[in-house]
Structure 1
């Protein structure tokens, strides 16, 4: 009986090896933590460009280096530059801290005074007003310091991406062979990960740009102050769940009304509530639903976590990590439970039994 209760040598070796792997992986991640956003960004762009990369290399017979450089340039123009343009607008406007803070303080005081005079409701006490102004000042002065970090992340991201695109089959074979999972679960991870990345890397920026452009038209029509800056702020705010772009255009409308431009302020408010809101709903319920149905709570907590870990890039990577963690829990259940195989895995198991090949990213 005692022998039955003893832990086998194989189990001890497995546990010891797992501990060593985890310790080494922890040391690597800790010392290379600055490059984690670069790796995540490279994987994101690889998934987006994967189909076109195989088409150019295997059907059009392009050289791997040529295909890689063309796709890297295309991704830079289509994906990176629009996001960088919005960030650069914000940095350019917020970088001059003294000028910006003077205007922001007037803007905030005007809104507070107008609401208090009309409703006799002190929306922000003097202490809270000072805290808001201080936080905005710290953000504006630290915006420029993030420019170098962003450029460093982008450069290292494309350095990693080149080797992924140049040898895609080798890259995927290494990942799939390194994963200690069944082929069916590897296929499930690859398919779900592709959908998550497409929804976050393509869907969210498209929704942000769509709302920003529609909002920009309204800002010009109704004469809002600094419409180009408001465009960048609206696009960035649209990525925030629940409140979205309203956190930008509602204070602007109140400010315009407080300035005496009642008709223009009310017109802008109606335009933003109807047209910008309709644009948001239209894009989210068409584009994002087709790409992947991501639960709003995943987005909320993902953005909060991602912003803390990766800064501005966490708007995209945070929700992916939350969804991927939930996916791994599902894979763990599929891998080790005695329950029946889920429907989505039955086809994969059948193909694998027939000798089909498995790719990590489908």
Structure 2
């Protein structure tokens, strides 16, 4: 006699079958539209940043939806996109000639190595390791630059998608909310956490990076560092890397200046960067980033590595968001299918006094 308790119910079979179909179709969509994934991520990022202003203009000021959308798109382009694109374009322009760049980099690295070896008797890198470093830097540069060449196409596609999000925001959020196969508390948790993560990554990290880059640029000009504008772009990009930060750029530059005989300016630049640039970093992080979502450094490290491989330069922002989103979805999965009905982490977000409290999905 068959034990009926061990039989798989017809409902469960239907659920599994439907889930398989959904996953297959989603996989086909993602595979064939993979080129537009950075554009979609960018559009969602800017939508979250502009969301409350969009509702304010459309619902409080009674602006036409198309006018509010175009104004916010223009503002985001000037404030958010152009500074990042400027740094990317600068790196492309300066490092576009890969052969000439690598020749200069090899001379730069050789002078630092020779100086440290002669001065302190410390062979910081053997010839074999030096060749490995040069090869690795060349590969990283090529990957970063090749991923950045399509930035303009990504931006154009991103704003095309963003317009339709901003024009009818209530409809867009209703579709997202109704499509999520989750409890309302989990949908609210995802919306609140994602809003904080996106704001921290899209605004906090670039502001800190550009702030450090500008302060370092002043020092590069004062002390006569080689290619100060290029070093500004590299310092801004390097400051996004946790732990080492901007030091990964200005420390080798200071050693190089001392190695070629500019001892005074090199030491002056070292003191300037350690004190002024370091103070700027701490000031911005403790005043700005502390008010935003606290992101673990490992999320940023692995997010940047993955993001650069997937999206090129834009991956500096999207990579950490995807890592944080993955961890968040694991938490939501545990909460969704746990036997306990009450979870302290699923408390609904505090009520805002903004106009955007009118929807359930808090982006």
TM class, shorter-length = over 0.9
- Cα distance between partner residues in 1 of 2:333 and 2:135: 46
* Runs (5+) with no aligned partner, structure 1: 351-355
- Could you tell which deviates more after superposition, 145-154 or 275-284? 145-154
CA 1:348–1:81 in 2, change beyond 3 Å: closer, same or farther?
closer
CA contact 2:192–2:362 (8 Å) conserved in 1: yes
Aligned match of 2:354: none
Q: How much does 1:178 deviate?
A: 0.1
- Cα distance between partner residues in 1 of 2:97 and 2:9: 66
Aligned match of 1:210: 211
- Cα distance between partner residues in 1 of 2:350 and 2:223: 59
Aligned match of 1:285: 286
TM-score (norm 1): 0.93
CA 1:357–1:182 in 2, change beyond 3 Å: closer, same or farther?
farther
CA contact 2:113–2:124 (8 Å) conserved in 1: yes
Aligned match of 1:45: 46
TM-score (norm 2): 0.93
CA contact 2:145–2:312 (8 Å) conserved in 1: no
CA contact 1:237–1:244 (8 Å) conserved in 2: yes
- Could you tell which deviates more after superposition, 214-223 or 132-141? 132-141
1:117 aligns with 2:118: yes
Aligned match of 1:103: 104
Aligned match of 2:231: 230
1:131 aligns with 2:135: no
1:22 aligns with 2:23: yes
* Runs (5+) with no aligned partner, structure 2: 352-356
- Cα distance between partner residues in 2 of 1:168 and 1:2: 52
- Cα distance between partner residues in 2 of 1:26 and 1:308: 20
Q: How much does 1:347 deviate?
A: 4.8
Q: How many residues align?
A: 357
- Cα distance between partner residues in 1 of 2:229 and 2:66: 39
CA 1:28–1:209 in 2, change beyond 3 Å: closer, same or farther?
same
Over the residues paired in the alignment, what is the CA RMSD in angstroms? 2.1
CA contact 1:240–1:300 (8 Å) conserved in 2: yes
Aligned match of 1:353: none
- Cα distance between partner residues in 2 of 1:58 and 1:272: 48
Q: C-alpha deviations, 1:211-233, integer Å up to 9, x for none?
A: 10110111111111111111111
